[in-house]
C-alpha cells in the first residue's frame, strides 16, 4: 500500500492545496503505478488527473504549454521537453486538445469549413498527441504493464456520428484514433504489456466546453478523472489499440 505523496517540480500546488500529505491509497485492485507523465497538465482534465494520481501516491511529472512552454504542435518543442525526461513512466496521459483555435469554433455547416480550421484542428488534436506518442517507446517500460492514453472524443467516432457538424474537430479526433491504433500495434511488439488507447472522458465542465454546454449534462473534471482512472485500472494488454469511453465501454471507430 502506497501512502506517500511524491511530488516533482511543477506540482507544488498540490502540496499546498490543503489536501495534506497523507494520501488516499490506490484501490486495492489497481495495478501498480509509480511514475506518470501528464501532457497538458494545465487543462481541466489534465489537472484533475494529475491530482488524482498524486493522491494515489504516484510521482507525477506534468508538462503544459502555460506552465512549461510545451507546444505539442511544434515538433522541436515536444522533442525538447520530452527528450530530456527520464523514464520509464508507468503511464503517459495526453490531456491536450482544443475545440476552438484562434476563435474558430466548430462548424455547423459545410459552408463553414475552411482549410485553416481543418489544419489547426489536425495540428492540435492529432499531430500533437502523435508527436508525444513518438517518444513513448523510450519512455515506457518494456518489462511491465504500461499505459499510453490520449483524450479523444466520442464525436471522433464515425460509427457513432448521427448528428453531423463539427467537421474539423471530428475529423482530427478520428485521425488521432487511427494514430493511436497504429501506434499500439508497433508498441506492443517491443513492449508486450503496453496498453495504448483513445479515451472519451464524457462531457466535462472545462474551458473547452464552456461556450458549448448549454443544458447538456456535464461532470466536473475531478469526476471525469476518477472515471478515466477507473477505466485505465481495468485495462489489459489485450485492450491495446482500442477506443473506450469513461464507463469502460468500447466506442465504435
Ligand X SMILES: NC(=O)c1ccc[n+]([C@@H]2O[C@H](COP(=O)([O-])OP(=O)(O)OC[C@H]3O[C@@H](n4cnc5c(N)ncnc54)[C@H](OP(=O)(O)O)[C@@H]3O)[C@@H](O)[C@H]2O)c1
Q: Which residues of the chain form contacts with ligand X (CB under 6 A)?
A: 40, 42-46, 64-66, 70-73, 95-98, 124, 128, 151, 153, 200-201, 203-204, 206-209
Task: Pick between residue 182 and residue 203 the one whose CB is nearest to ligand X.
Answer: 203
User: Which triple of cell numbers denotes residue 138?
Assistant: 523510450
Q: Which is nearer to ligand X, 97 or 183 (CB)?
A: 97
Separation of alpha carbons 108 and 63, rounded Å: 33
* Least Cβ distance, residue 63 to ligand X (angstroms): 8
Shorter beta-carbon distance to ligand X: residue 98 or 146: 98
Q: CB of 176: closest distance to ligand X in angstroms?
A: 8
Bridge partners of 94? 39, 150
Least distance from ligand X to the Cβ atom of residue 194, Å: 21
| Cα gap 105→117, rounded to integer Å | 9
Copy the grid coordinates of residue 235.
485495462
Comparing CB distances to ligand X, the nearer of 22 and 210 is 210
For ligand X, the closer of residues 1 and 9 by Cβ is 9
Q: How many CB atoms lie within 10 A of CB 102?
A: 8
Give the residue with the Cβ less far from ligand X, 66 or 190.
66
**DSSP letters of 190-224?**
H-TTEEEEEEE--SB-STTTTTT-TT---B-HHHH
Residue 78 CB, nearest distance to ligand X (Å)?
9
Q: Which helix (H) or strand (E) holds 39?
A: strand 35-39
- Describe the crossing of helices 221-234 and 44-55 by its angle, rounded to 10 degrees: 60
Q: Which of 208, 246, 212 is nearest to 230 (CA)?
A: 246
Closest CB 252 distance from ligand X, rounded Å? 16
Q: Which is nearer to ligand X, 23 or 45 (CB)?
A: 45
Which region holds residue 86: left if phi is over 0, alpha if psi is between -120 and 50, else beta? beta
- Minimum CB separation of residue 98 from ligand X in Å reads 5
For CA atoms 31, 93, 35, 87, the dihedral sign is positive
| Min dist. Cβ of residue 203 to ligand X (A) | 4
Position closest to ligand X via CB: 97
Amino acid at each position: 500500500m502506497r501512502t506517500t505523496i511524491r511530488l516533482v517540480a511543477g506540482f507544488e500546488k498540490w502540496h499546498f492545496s490543503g489536501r495534506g500529505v497523507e494520501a488516499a491509497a490506490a484501490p486495492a485492485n489497481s495495478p501498480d503505478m509509480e511514475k506518470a507523465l501528464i501532457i497538458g497538465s494545465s487543462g481541466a482534465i489534465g489537472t484533475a488527473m494529475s491530482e488524482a494520481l498524486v493522491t494515489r501516491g504516484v510521482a507525477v511529472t506534468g508538462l503544459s504549454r502555460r506552465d512549461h512552454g510545451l507546444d505539442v504542435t511544434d515538433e522541436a518543442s515536444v522533442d525538447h521537453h520530452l527528450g530530456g525526461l527520464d523514464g520509464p513512466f508507468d503511464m503517459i496521459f495526453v490531456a491536450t486538445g482544443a475545440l476552438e483555435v484562434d476563435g474558430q469554433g466548430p462548424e455547423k455547416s459545410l459552408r463553414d469549413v475552411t482549410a485553416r480550421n481543418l489544419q489547426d484542428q489536425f495540428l492540435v488534436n492529432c499531430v500533437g498527441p502523435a508527436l508525444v506518442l513518438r517518444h513513448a517507446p523510450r519512455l515506457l517500460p518494456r518489462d511491465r504493464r504500461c499505459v499510453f492514453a490520449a483524450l479523444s472524443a466520442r464525436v471522433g467516432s464515425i460509427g457513432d456520428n448521427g448528428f453531423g457538424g463539427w467537421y474539423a474537430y471530428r475529423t482530427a479526433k478520428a485521425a488521432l484514433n487511427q494514430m493511436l491504433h497504429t501506434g499500439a500495434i508497433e508498441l506492443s511488439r517491443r513492449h508486450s504489456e503496453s496498453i495504448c488507447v483513445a479515451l472519451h472522458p464524457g462531457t466535462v465542465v472545462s474551458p473547452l466546453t464552456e461556450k458549448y454546454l448549454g443544458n447538456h449534462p456535464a461532470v466536473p473534471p475531478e469526476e471525469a478523472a476518477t472515471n478515466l482512472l477507473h477505466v485505465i485500472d481495468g485495462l489489459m494488454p489485450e485492450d491495446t489499440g482500442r477506443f473506450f469511453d469513461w464507463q469502460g465501454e468500447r466506442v465504435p471507430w
